[in-house]
Copies of this chain bind each other. A is one copy, B any other.
Amino acid sequence: MSTSSRCAACRHLRRRCPSDCIFAPYFPANDPHRFACVHKIYGSSKVGNMLQDLPVELRAEAADAICIEAECRVQDPVYGCVRMISLLQQQIHNAESQLVKARAEIAVLGSHAQELRHHVQDI
């Protein structure tokens, strides 16, 4: 395989890109940042092993998830994507609190409407 058709991983690792390259389908040459992140965080042999251990049909989704985690950790070297999990949990907590309040308000308005209806009937 010629130098120009090496995948982003083989370019990064300065090696020949074999025809059965484990990285090539998930790390195209036109997105070098994607491999640079996973290489920095996991190292190429770990990523290669993680992909190799999975059935072929699951590797694309695994590569995407590994890239998300690696990019999060490059951007936030302390919390990585755990920060996003914390923020989302906080957001759910807020939404659920608002929902509890809204349901309480519905109950009050419902019973108030009921009282008014009885009052109208009594008149």
Contacts and interface: CB of A to CB of B under 8 A. Distances in A.
Copies per complex? Answer: 2
Interface string A86-105: 00110110011011001101
Interface size class of A (residues with CB under 8 A): 35 or more
Interface in A26-73: 41-43, 46, 50, 53-54, 58, 61-62, 64-66, 68-69, 73
A109 interface: yes
Nearest to A123: B123
Contacts of A80: 65-66, 69
A13 interface: no
Contacts of A117: 116
A119 interface: yes
A85 interface: yes
A82 B71 CA distance: 12
Given A42-B42, A65-B82, 7 more contacts: A62-B78, A62-B79, A65-B79, A99-B102, A106-B109, A109-B109, A109-B113
